[in-house]
Amino acid sequence: MLPNSPYTRAHVAPTALKLKSIPLILSCLVSHAALADDANAIHLESIPVTGNPLGVASDELVVPVSVLNGRELSLRREGTLGETLNGIPGVTATQFGPNASRPVIRGLDAERVRIMQNGIGVLDASSLSFDHAVGIDPLIIEQIDVVRGPAALLYGGSAVGGVVNAIDHRIPKEQLDGVTGRAEARFGGADSTRNAAAVVDAGNGQFAIHADVYNRKTDDLDIPGFAVSRRKNEADGTPRENKGKLVNSSADGDGAALGAALTFDNGYIGASVSTLNNNYGVVAEEAVRIDMQSQRWDIASEFTDLGPVIHRVKFRLAHTDYEHSELEDGEIGTTFKNRGIEGSFEAGHAPIAGLNGVIGYQFSNTNFEALGEEAFVPSVNTQNKALYVYEELPLGTAEAKHKITFGGRLGHTTVDSKTNANFGAGQENSFNPHSFALGGLYSLNEQWSVTSNLSHNERAPSYFELYANGAHVATGQFEVGNTNFDVERSNGVDAQLRWKNSLHSFSIGAYYTRFSNFIGLFSTGNDIEVEPGEFLPEAQFRAVPAVFKGLEAEGKFTLTDHLQWLVRGDYVHAKETRTNDYLPRIAPLRLGTGLQYAFSSFSARIDVLHAFKQNNTADNELATDGYTNVSALLTYKLPVKTHVELFAKANNLLNQEIREHASFLKDISPAGERSLLVGVRADF
């Protein structure tokens, strides 16, 4: 399928920076500590969560939330959204090669994890197939909020696993007088990346504009051994070829955006337009590349201090025109199109008997088309409408803050397929998914608190769960949907114990979610003849009772004014309760630790993440060996007036063969080898 791709680059790729031995990157950790001053001391701060309707900080929320922004996000960026977030407690990634990776939250992926941009869903095709990239590039994102656990109440009926909200500030929300911006470039790594991005904001106090542009190029990923795993070779005889290189894993992408807003003392109104282009190899097939384009138009407005009854209103609307073609030997084989609109209107009321809250209306209308010989789903129109309410009741005193939260969401979804010669007459399906939640936060004292959240969630089946009927090349299966599905129902409980003061923080949580009819893709044991003499294993979407339960922990401990110790860990256990079989692609127990040091203009960090062996496998799923991933980071702020920082990142220092069990391609696509990436970032 594409050994001689027409896709070429008009440049000579630089030699990747590879580490042949483990360097002493962090030797500065043990020097000069006594000479440091208090200006560089480490302190913990509360971070506002932009996706929360009441604008509270992450440590004041009942549900567990992780927030990445600023310098931490800049230094953590990877080539995909999934890899950028991979390693956060409870979060793994689908990792379909280095170019397509969606976040997996608590073992749940695809439609159950809602990916949003500025509070509006990202319209692409990434939930349909693991080889389809998310329509967001991390290079221009300013903040990422990750809600772990059921979040359907506020963010959409499909968000039963969690939410990832990427914020880019393309529509200015605050008054700006002057010019600010940032720029970043990075080179090296296991894929010989060459990335650059620039963001500029300017305003005169009443009118503000935004512009950003970025470019990303990578070569085929260098890997520490063979692409095919030993287990797969022994299981089905797949030859172990392509040692040291992951063939057809290069990528070339770019994008840009313009935004503008009128800003006032109590609000703003603005619009933006953005474009994204991406051409990347599909590692499952050496002859296939995906050529993707997406254009998005956004309108947003928010005003506060409006009156004694309704004190805040917010409106958001986005229209997306998404298309990608799958190129086979340079020829278009299949084209996927997704065009649609999504919006929401939200009003916050003044306190009523102590209650603070919002009422909102959310809607979307999307048209999905799959055109070509390898289309395994028909063209579909999906419409969603929902009314939701969320309330908080503060209790206790200023020293011991308590609160109760509750809310509900009433939705209506239609999923209508269109008549097609390959799929037959069009069909109409209608669902009424409703979700409810009750939670609470109890402060034991100024440092200790306990949170808990009870939820009932309902999700309408997606178009591919209903109508799939054909060979899915990316998964190597003949997939069959079921138009008789009802809404997927689940009940869950989530609890956390939190401790935090000005220097230290620690949280540990547990969750339990029971699905009465979990919709999953399961092998039938049958083979379907797709071409004369060519067969694919049949996989059918079925609804089964299932349980997901797990643990998550995270801590930051300040050892000295300039040295911080980091710990984290997570565990997921997921089974079909009727047969007691394990569900597929569930990540194993992971434990991590690290040290972070800051002195004067220097900072350094070393991080160790150990993933244990995963033997709890589903039918026709191979076990996955454990690994220990050691990474390091070194930064230096230049002594210039403008904030300029140099950085170097070393990954996979032990040069281990890293295969993520959550990845559908784990046995043919490992992570990159030991490598070094260098870069520069500037803020002005």
pLDDT along the chain (684 residues), means of 10: 33 38 36 37 57 72 88 88 93 90 92 92 85 90 89 78 92 95 96 96 96 97 95 92 92 97 96 96 88 96 92 96 90 91 95 91 95 88 96 81 92 93 88 95 92 95 93 85 96 95 94 96 86 88 97 97 96 96 96 96 97 93 96 95 94 97 92 96 93
- Rounding to the nearest 10 degrees, give the CA dihedral for residues 635, 251, 588, 63: 70
Close Cβ partners of 599 (under 8 Å, ≥ 6 residues apart)? 28, 32, 33, 35, 36, 40, 562
The pLDDT value given to residue 548: 97
Structure token pair of residue 385: 């409408």
Please state the domain count of the chain: 1
Q: Does the residue 433 lie in any domain? A: yes
Query: What's the CA gap between 398 and 402, in Å, rounded?
Result: 9
How much is the pLDDT for 636? 97
Q: What is the CATH number of the domain that holds 341?
A: 2.40.170.20
Residue 643 tokens, joined:
């904030």
- The answer to the question of residue 31 being in a domain is no
**Does residue 497 belong to any structural domain of this protein?**
yes
At 5 the pLDDT is: 34
Evaluate if pTM is beyond 0.85.
yes
- 548, part of any domain: yes
Q: Is 321 domain-assigned? A: yes
Residue 482 is predicted with a pLDDT of: 95
Residue 203 lies in a domain: yes
* Domain span including residue 498: 48-683
User: Over 284-302, what HEC string results?
Assistant: CCCCEEEEEEEEEEEEEEE
According to DSSP, residue 461 is labeled: P
211-236 burial, b at 16+ Cβ within 10 Å, e below that, comes to bbbbbbbbbbbbbbbbbbbeebeeee
Q: Is residue 673 part of a domain?
A: yes
> How many C-alpha atoms does 640 have within 13 Å on its Cβ side?
11
Instruction: Give a yes or no: residue 24 inside a domain.
Output: no
Cα within 13 Å of Cα(312), Cβ side = 18
Task: Provide the pairing of β-strand 627-637 with 675-683.
Answer: unpaired
Quote the pLDDT of residue 399. Answer: 66
What are the CA-CA distances from residue 570 to residues 51, 82, 148, 493 (Å)?
24, 17, 12, 17
